C-alpha cells in the first residue's frame, strides 16, 4: 500500500540522513571514490578537471540528501507552492555556490589541499550554465537562491537548452558568435529523470464532440514529442532546504511516427525522430525583440505544457477537487514568455476536466501573477495568429473566447470607445494579425508587477495606462534584487570575511538588513585600511585577468571604470566610448606638466550584442578601434587604457565586479526597467556613475546623491528633449568627438558612418548629445573624488552598507507576502 511505501521511504531517508559526513577525511574518501567509480580514473593519478568532476559528484551526493528530505517535508506539509515559470536562467557555475550554501567550504578546501589540489583552481574548471540572455535570466537565478534560502516551497521550471547563449569571440575587433555546447563534458549538477516524462502535442485540428448532451471542443493533435525532466537541486544557505529547478528536454516520443516505421520508411522515420530534439536545442539570443518564429513558439508551449502537466499531477496526487487549486498553487509568469500557460490551463480545465468555462476562468484569475521586465514597446511579445492557428489551434480559440469575454467586460466599463477597445484588445488587427501576450497576461493575472518603482510608474502612466485606469489595484512593483550569497560570499570572499569581522557576525548572509550596520564604521580609519587592502587584492586579480585575456598591463593605481552588460543603444555604451575619446583628446592636447594632474583610468567595457543587432556590433568594433589607438599611444601611457573583456558571462562578472572602483549605468532615463548589475557593484563597494533610471532612483534614496555620481536628463525631461530634436544645443566637445570617429581618426571610416548618424541632430533618439556635458561633469567629479582616498573609501563602505535593500531576499519576501500568498516551510535539521 502507499502507506507502507511512505513508511519504507521514511526509514530509508532516516538512514541516509547524515550518512554522508562533511569532515575533511570523509570528503576525501568520497572524492577518491568518485575519481575511481564515477570518473573512472585511477585514484592515484588524476588531473584538475577530473578532480573537479569527482568533487562535484561528492557535493552532488550531499545536495541530493537534503533535496530528498526537503521534497518529503513539502509533501507531508502540503503547503501552498509557488511555481516560477521562466524561459531563461543564468545559473553560471554551481560548485562554489553549492559548497558555500552547504556550509562546507573550508572542509572541502582542506580535503583537497591534502590531496594536492587547490579549491580555487578546481572551481575554475567548471563551465558556465548560460541558459539565458541577461538581466532577466540572472534575476531568475538570484530569486531561486533566495527562495531556497528563505525556505519557501517553490519550484522553478524552464528549458534545458543544449546550446546556451553563444560564446562571443572577437576577431579584429568584430564580434563573432560560436555555439556554446555546455553539456560537452557532462553536467554533474543535473539529475536526469527518465521516468518523469510527459507527452507534448502540437498542430492538428479541433473537433466538436457531444458529451452528456453538451457540446465540447476536442483537440486532435498532429504531432507529439516527449518532455523529459532534468532536476537541478538549488540549495539554500543556512538551511537544509534544497529546492528544484526542473528543466525540460525534448525527446522523440515512442508513438511518434509509428506509421512511418510500419510503412518501411525507416531512415526518414529516424531522422524525423531526431527533429523532435531541436525544440529544446537552442536559446534565442535576441534579448528583446522576437520576430514570431515557429520554433520559439514551440519552445514556449513545450515548456508550459510539460510544466503544467507536472504541476497538476502533483496537485492531484493529494487533492481531488480542482476548485482547491488556487489554495495550493501560485503560478508566476516571468515576463510574457510563459503566457501560453493561461490558455493551456483553461484548455485542461474546460476540455479535459470538464469544469465549465466560468468556473475555469475563475480559477485562472486566482492563480496567475505576471511580472513584466520592459518599458520598450517593441519588446512586448506578439504572436502572429497564423502561426498560433497552425501550431496550437485550440489555444487560439480559447484566446479568442477570453478576448470576447474581455471586450464585453470592457464595454460595460468604458462604453463604445473603439480606439481604446482596440488598444486594449488581446487581438491586434493589422497587416499581421497577432496576439498581444502582455494584454492577455494582464487581463488574466491577479497581479501585474513592475521591477522598480520608476518602471511601475511608467507602466501605469504610459505602457499599460489603459489597464491601470480600470484596475489600479492589480498593479504593484517589486524592486529587483540580487543574492548576496553569489555576489559577495562566492565572488568576493575577502570582503565577505571583512564584513563579518566588523559586524561581528556572519548572519548578514541570511539577514541582509544587518549589512546596514557597516554605516556605523564608515569613517573608522582601521576599517578604511582593511577595506582598501581587500579592494586592491581584487583589483590585482582583475588586472591579471586583463593581462591574460588581452595582453595589456594595467596599473593598479588607476581607477578601474567598468561598464558591462548587454550592448544596447539605450544603455549607451557609445556615450561611454565618446567620453573616453574626449578624455584621450584632452590628454593629447595638454601640456606635459598638466598631465601629472590627470587621474589615471582603466576603462573596461564588456557585453554581448544580439547576433542580428548591427548597431550594437558596431559599438563593439568602435570600442576596439579606439582601444587600439589609445593603448598604443606613448603620449598617454598609464593615464588612460581601454579594454574590452570578451565573452561576458556570470563567472566573468564574479571576477570583474569586485575589482571595479567605478561602474557605469547610464541608460537614457525611462529605458532601463530596473537594472541589476548596478546592485552587484554596489554590494561590492564600487561607486556608481549613473542616470536616474530604473532602480538607480531607489539606490539614490538609499545611499543619497552624495555617495554616487549622478547625471543626465530625468525621465520627465526626455519627451521634451526629443521634441526639441536638432534644436538642442549640443556641446562642442560632443560634435568634436563624433567628428573624430566620422573622419576616420580610428580607421573604418565607412563602417562607423551609420553609427555616427544615430547620434546626430534629430536622430539622436537616446540623447547622447543632450546628456554629454553633464556626463563629463559627473566623470570629472569622479576623478576628483578618487584623489581623496578617504572620502572615496567612505563612499564605498556606504555603498555596500546601503545595498541591503537590493537583496533578492527582500524581493522574494515581498512576492511571497503580497503576490503569491505563500509561507516558509522549513525542513527540520
Residue 566 contacts ligand GL9 per CB under 6 A: yes
Whole-number minimum distance, CB 694 to ligand GL9, in Å? 5
Whole-number minimum distance, CB 85 to ligand GL9, in Å? 15
Sign of CA dihedral 67, 68, 73, 75: positive
Whole-number minimum distance, CB 138 to ligand GL9, in Å? 8
Other C-beta atoms lying within 10 Å of the C-beta of residue 18: 10
Residue 563 contacts ligand GL9 per CB under 6 A: no
- DSSP state for residue 806 in the 8-state scheme: G
Nearer to ligand GL9, 136 or 398 (CB): 136
811 is catalytic: no
| Binds ligand GL9 (CB under 6 A): choice among 38, 96, 479, 480 | 480
Nearer to ligand GL9, 374 or 796 (CB): 374
34 is catalytic: no
Whole-number minimum distance, CB 711 to ligand GL9, in Å? 19
680 is catalytic: yes
Whole-number minimum distance, CB 480 to ligand GL9, in Å? 5
Output the nine-digit C-alpha cell for 134.
541577461
For residues 696 and 692, what is the distance between their CA atoms, to the nearest angstrom? 6
* Cβ-contact 236, 149 below 8 angstroms: yes
Q: Which of 81, 566, 572, 641 is catalytic?
A: 566
Q: Binding string to ligand GL9 for residues 430 to 469, with x set by CB under 6 A, is what?
A: ---------------------x------------------
For residues 176 and 226, what is the distance between their CA atoms, to the nearest angstrom? 34
Residues 487-546 that bind ligand GL9 (CB under 6 A): none
Residue whose cell numbers read 559586524:
503
Select the span of 513-521, 546-554, 673-681, 700-708 touching ligand GL9 (CB under 6 A).
673-681
Nearer to ligand GL9, 693 or 783 (CB): 693
Other C-beta atoms lying within 10 Å of the C-beta of residue 337: 25
Using DSSP, state whether 131 is helix, strand or coil. strand
Q: Which of 565, 665, 805, 810 is catalytic?
A: 565
Other C-beta atoms lying within 10 Å of the C-beta of residue 208: 8
1 is catalytic: no
* Cβ-contact 639, 586 below 8 angstroms: no
Q: What is the DSSP string of 694-711?
A: TTHHHHHHHH-GGGSEEE
Q: Give me the residue whose beta carbon is nearest to ligand GL9.
A: 135
Residues 373-402 that bind ligand GL9 (CB under 6 A): 373-374, 379
**Integer angstrom CA distances of residue 569 from 245, 402, 416, 563:** 33, 37, 40, 13
**Integer angstrom CA distances of residue 37 from 54, 63, 94:** 9, 19, 22
DSSP bridge pairs for 709: 689
For residues 147 and 274, what is the distance between their CA atoms, to the nearest angstrom? 36
| Binds ligand GL9 (CB under 6 A): choice among 136, 340, 380, 438 | 136
Tell me, rounded to whole angstroms, the distance of Cα 400 from its chain centroid: 32
What phi, psi does 251 have (nearest 5°)?
A: -130, 150
**Integer angstrom CA distances of residue 647 from 607, 650, 821:** 7, 10, 40
Residue 672 contacts ligand GL9 per CB under 6 A: yes
For residues 643 and 563, what is the distance between their CA atoms, to the nearest angstrom? 11
* Cβ-contact 98, 271 below 8 angstroms: no
Nearer to ligand GL9, 136 or 229 (CB): 136
Q: Which of 239, 447, 676, 691 is catalytic?
A: 676
Residues 691-710 that bind ligand GL9 (CB under 6 A): 694
What is the largest distance, in Å, between two alpha-carbon atoms of the chain?
95
Residue 135 contacts ligand GL9 per CB under 6 A: yes
Output the nine-digit C-alpha cell for 246.
526542473
Q: How much is the CA Rg of the chain, to the nearest whole Å?
A: 28
Nearer to ligand GL9, 253 or 371 (CB): 371
By CB under 6 A, the count of residues binding ligand GL9 is 20
| Binds ligand GL9 (CB under 6 A): choice among 58, 131, 139, 144 | 139
566 is catalytic: yes
Nearer to ligand GL9, 436 or 582 (CB): 436
Whole-number minimum distance, CB 582 to ligand GL9, in Å? 27
Output the nine-digit C-alpha cell for 476.
504593484
Whole-number minimum distance, CB 468 to ligand GL9, in Å? 19
In terms of DSSP bridges, do strands 687-691 and 662-665 run parallel, antiparallel, or are they unpaired?
parallel
Residue whose cell numbers read 536526469:
192
Nearer to ligand GL9, 240 or 288 (CB): 288
Whole-number minimum distance, CB 210 to ligand GL9, in Å? 46
- DSSP state for residue 429 in the 8-state scheme: P
Nearer to ligand GL9, 701 or 790 (CB): 701
Whole-number minimum distance, CB 148 to ligand GL9, in Å? 19
Nearer to ligand GL9, 438 or 639 (CB): 438
Nearer to ligand GL9, 668 or 676 (CB): 676
**Integer angstrom CA distances of residue 18 from 64, 100, 270, 432, 782:** 12, 18, 47, 60, 53
- DSSP state for residue 176 in the 8-state scheme: E
Helix, strand counts (H, E) of the chain: 34, 24
* Cβ-contact 725, 765 below 8 angstroms: no
Other C-beta atoms lying within 10 Å of the C-beta of residue 181: 12
| Binds ligand GL9 (CB under 6 A): choice among 253, 674, 684, 691 | 674
Residue 144 contacts ligand GL9 per CB under 6 A: no
Residue 133 contacts ligand GL9 per CB under 6 A: yes
Residues 325-384 that bind ligand GL9 (CB under 6 A): 373-374, 379
CA-based nearest residue to 457, from 768, 695, 712: 695
Nearer to ligand GL9, 231 or 335 (CB): 335
| Binds ligand GL9 (CB under 6 A): choice among 102, 380, 673, 686 | 673
Residue 675 contacts ligand GL9 per CB under 6 A: yes
Q: Which of 373, 478, 665, 805 is catalytic?
A: 373
Whole-number minimum distance, CB 609 to ligand GL9, in Å? 11
What amino acid positions are annotated as catalytic residues?
Answer: 373, 565-566, 571, 676, 680
User: Interface residues with ligand GL9 (CB under 6 A)?
Assistant: 133-137, 139, 287-288, 373-374, 379, 451, 480, 566, 672-676, 694
Amino acid at each position: 500500500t502507499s502507506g507502507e511505501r511512505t513508511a519504507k521511504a521514511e526509514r530509508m531517508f532516516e538512514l541516509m540522513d547524515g550518512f554522508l559526513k562533511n569532515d575533511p577525511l570523509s570528503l576525501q574518501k568520497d572524492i577518491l571514490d568518485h575519481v575511481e567509480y564515477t570518473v573512472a580514473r585511477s585514484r592515484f593519478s588524476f588531473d584538475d578537471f577530473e578532480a573537479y568532476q569527482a568533487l562535484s559528484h561528492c557535493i552532488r551526493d550531499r545536495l541530493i540528501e537534503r533535496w530528498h528530505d526537503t521534497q518529503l517535508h513539502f509533501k507531508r506539509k502540503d503547503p501552498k507552492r509557488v511555481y516560477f515559470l521562466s524561459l531563461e536562467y543564468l545559473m553560471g557555475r554551481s560548485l562554489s555556490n553549492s559548497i558555500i550554501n552547504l556550509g562546507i567550504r573550508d572542509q572541502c578546501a582542506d580535503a583537497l589541499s591534502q590531496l594536492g589540489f587547490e579549491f580555487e583552481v578546481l572551481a575554475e574548471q567548471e563551465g558556465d550554465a548560460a541558459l539565458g540572455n541577461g538581466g532577466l535570466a540572472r534575476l531568475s537565478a538570484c530569486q531561486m537562491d533566495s527562495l531556497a534560502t528563505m525556505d519557501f516551497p517553490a519550484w522553478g521550471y524552464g528549458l534545458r537548452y543544449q546550446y546556451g547563449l553563444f560564446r562571443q569571440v572577437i576577431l579584429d575587433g568584430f564580434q563573432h558568435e560560436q555555439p556554446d555546447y555546455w553539456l560537452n563534458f557532462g553536467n554533474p549538477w543535473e539529475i536526469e529523470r527518465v521516468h518523469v516524462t510527459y507527452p507534448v502535442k502540437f498542430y492538428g485540428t479541433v473537433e466538436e464532440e457531444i458529451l452528456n448532451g453538451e457540446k465540447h471542443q476536442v483537440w486532435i493533435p498532429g504531432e507529439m514529442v516527449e518532455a523529459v525532466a532534468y532536476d537541478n537541486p538549488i540549495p539554500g544557505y543556512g538551511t537544509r532546504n534544497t529546492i528544484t529547478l526542473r528543466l525540460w528536454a525534448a525527446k522523440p516520443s515512442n508513438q511518434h511516427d509509428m506509421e512511418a516505421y510500419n510503412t518501411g520508411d525507416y531512415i526518414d522515420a529516424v531522422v524525423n525522430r531526431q527533429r523532435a530534439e531541436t525544440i529544446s536545442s537552442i536559446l534565442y539570443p535576441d534579448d528583446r525583440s522576437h520576430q514570431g518564429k515557429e520554433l520559439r513558439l514551440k519552445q514556449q508551449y513545450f515548456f508550459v505544457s510539460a510544466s503544467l502537466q507536472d504541476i497538476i499531477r502533483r496537485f492531484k496526487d493529494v487533492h481531488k477537487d480542482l476548485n482547491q487549486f488556487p489554495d495550493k498553487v501560485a503560478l508566476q509568469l516571468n515576463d510574457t514568455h510563459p503566457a501560453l500557460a493561461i490558455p493551456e490551463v483553461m484548455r485542461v480545465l474546460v476540455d479535459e476536466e470538464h469544469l465549465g468555462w466560468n468556473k475555469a476562468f475563475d480559477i485562472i484569475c486566482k492563480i496567475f501573477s505576471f511580472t513584466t521586465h520592459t518599458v520598450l514597446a517593441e519588446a512586448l511579445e506578439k504572436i502572429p495568429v497564423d502561426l498560433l492557428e497552425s501550431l496550437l489551434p485550440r489555444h487560439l480559440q480559447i484566446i479568442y473566447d477570453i478576448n470576447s469575454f474581455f471586450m464585453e467586460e470592457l464595454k460595460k466599463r468604458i462604453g463604445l470607445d473603439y480606439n481604446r477597445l482596440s488598444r486594449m484588445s488581446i487581438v491586434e488587427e493589422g497587416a499581421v494579425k497577432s496576439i498581444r501576450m502582455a494584454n492577455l497576461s494582464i487581463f488574466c493575472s491577479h497581479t501585474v508587477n513592475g521591477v522598480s518603482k520608476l518602471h511601475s510608474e511608467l507602466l501605469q502612466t504610459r505602457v499599460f495606462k489603459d489597464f491601470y485606469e480600470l484596475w489600479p489595484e492589480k498593479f504593484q512593483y517589486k524592486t529587483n534584487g540580487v543574492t548576496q550569497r553569489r555576489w559577495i560570499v562566492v565572488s568576493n570572499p575577502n570582503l565577505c570575511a571583512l564584513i563579518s569581522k566588523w559586524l561581528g557576525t556572519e548572519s548578514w548572509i541570511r539577514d541582509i538588513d544587518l549589512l546596514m550596520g557597516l554605516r556605523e564604521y564608515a569613517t573608522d580609519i582601521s576599517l578604511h585600511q582593511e577595506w582598501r587592502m581587500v579592494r586592491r587584492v581584487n583589483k590585482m586579480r582583475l588586472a591579471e585577468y586583463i593581462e591574460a585575456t588581452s595582453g595589456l598591463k594595467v596599473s593598479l593605481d588607476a581607477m578601474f571604470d567598468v561598464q558591462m552588460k548587454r550592448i544596447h543603444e539605450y544603455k549607451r555604451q557609445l556615450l561611454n566610448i565618446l567620453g573616453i575619446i574626449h578624455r584621450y583628446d584632452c590628454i593629447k592636447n595638454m601640456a606635459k606638466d598638466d598631465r601629472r594632474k590627470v587621474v589615471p583610468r582603466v576603462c573596461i567595457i564588456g557585453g554581448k550584442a544580439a547576433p542580428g543587432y548591427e548597431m550594437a556590433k558596431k559599438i563593439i568594433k568602435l570600442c576596439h578601434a579606439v582601444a587600439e589607438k589609445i593603448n598604443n599611444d606613448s603620449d598617454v601611457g598609464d593615464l588612460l587604457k581601454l579594454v574590452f573583456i570578451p565573452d561576458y558571462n556570470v563567472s566573468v562578472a564574479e571576477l570583474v565586479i569586485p575589482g571595479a572602483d567605478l561602474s557605469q549605468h547610464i541608460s537614457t532615463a525611462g529605458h532601463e526597467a530596473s537594472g541589476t548589475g548596478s546592485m552587484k557593484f554596489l554590494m561590492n563597494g564600487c561607486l556608481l556613475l549613473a542616470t536616474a533610471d530604473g532602480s538607480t532612483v531607489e539606490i539614490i534614496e538609499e545611499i543619497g546623491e552624495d555617495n554616487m555620481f549622478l547625471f543626465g536628463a530625468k525621465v520627465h525631461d526626455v519627451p521634451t528633449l526629443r521634441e526639441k530634436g536638432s534644436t538642442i544645443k549640443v556641446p562642442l566637445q560632443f560634435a568634436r568627438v563624433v567628428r573624430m570617429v566620422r573622419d576616420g581618426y580610428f580607421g573604418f571610416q565607412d563602417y562607423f558612418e551609420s553609427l555616427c548618424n544615430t547620434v546626430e541632430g534629430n536622430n539622436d533618439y537616446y540623447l547622447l548629445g543632450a546628456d554629454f556635458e553633464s556626463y563629463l561633469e559627473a566623470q570629472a567629479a569622479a576623478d576628483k573624488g578618487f584623489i581623496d582616498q578617504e572620502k572615496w573609501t567612505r563612499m564605498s563602505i556606504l555603498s555596500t552598507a546601503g545595498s541591503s535593500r537590493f537583496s533578492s531576499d527582500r524581493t522574494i519576501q515581498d512576492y511571497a507576502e503580497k503576490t503569491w500568498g505563500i509561507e516558509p516551510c522549513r525542513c527540520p535539521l
